């Protein structure tokens, strides 16, 4: 059985509590790759096939309200239920 959105949110929240990538403290939104509006996500060392079977958590750092920088994301495999990437979404600007 694949991981649900709620389970992915719980996993990403737990990861944030331990690691704080980009200084983030909370999850803004949890998306499936098909839910991206126009631009497709492209990450180094994570194939499009793996991304298509993953949840993508957008993280929020309350101290970065007025900072122009790339979003911080956590990618969680729907199959293995493990974090496979945490860091920049490469969408700065």
Amino acid 66: pLDDT = 67
Sheet containing strand 72-77, edge to edge, reads: 26-32, 54-60, 72-77, 83-88
Higher-pLDDT residue of 64 and 88 is 88
In tens, the pLDDT along 9-68 reads 999 999 988 887 777 778 989 999 888 766 677 788 888 899 889 999 988 877 766 667
Higher-pLDDT residue of 84, 17:
84
């Amino acid at each position: 059985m694949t991981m649900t959105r709620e389970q992915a949110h719980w996993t990403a929240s737990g990861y944030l509590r331990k690691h704080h990538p980009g200084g983030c403290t909370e999850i803004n939104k949890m998306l499936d790759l098909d839910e991206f509006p126009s631009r497709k996500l492209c990450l180094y060392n994570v194939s499009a096939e793996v991304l298509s079977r993953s949840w993508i958590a957008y993280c929020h750092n309350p101290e970065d309200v007025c900072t122009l920088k790339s979003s911080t994301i956590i990618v969680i495999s729907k199959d293995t239920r493990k974090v496979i990437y945490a860091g920049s979404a490469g969408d700065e600007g």
